[in-house]
Amino acid sequence: MILPRYRHNMLIALRLMRLALKEVVERDYTHFITDVFEGEVHSPFRLHTKILGFEVIGTHLHGELNCSCTRIILTLDILKAYQRLKARKNRLYWNLTEGIRDLLEQKIVTG
């Protein structure tokens, strides 16, 4: 999703993630679902699974992109991920939740 010349700049990726998070939380969505490509040089697989908490739910070989790599299907429970990041209170937490912490906290309380 991020152009190759910007991939070294983590702040760009964080800003895109924060904007996407804000949009889906405001629309009352509860999960993200995405594909990453196995063996792709710039794969966000580690970031998604180890740091953000995405879970692997399957794989598939064919899709709309012309790529021979296996696609790994990931899902993320947004409130579960928020609570995980909140417990750490690191830079990632502060950057991703800027401007929507109150909304996320409200959603946790109301279930």
Instruction: Average pLDDT across each block of 10 residues of the chain; the chain has 111 residues. List them in order.
Output: 78 89 95 90 88 94 78 96 94 93 93 74
Q: Which of 63, 43, 64 is nearest to 54 (CA)?
A: 43
Residue 74 inside a domain? The answer is yes
Write b or e for each residue in 45-75: b if 16 or more Cβ atoms lie within 10 A of its Cβ, otherwise e.
beebbeebbbeeeeeeeeeeeeeeeebbebe
Count up the domains in the chain and report the number. 1
- With contact defined as beta carbons under 8 Å apart, do 53 and 76 qualify? yes
Residue 109 inside a domain? The answer is no
Q: What is the pLDDT of residue 57?
A: 97
Residue 107 inside a domain? The answer is no
Domain of 77?
4-102
Q: Structure pTM? A: 0.84
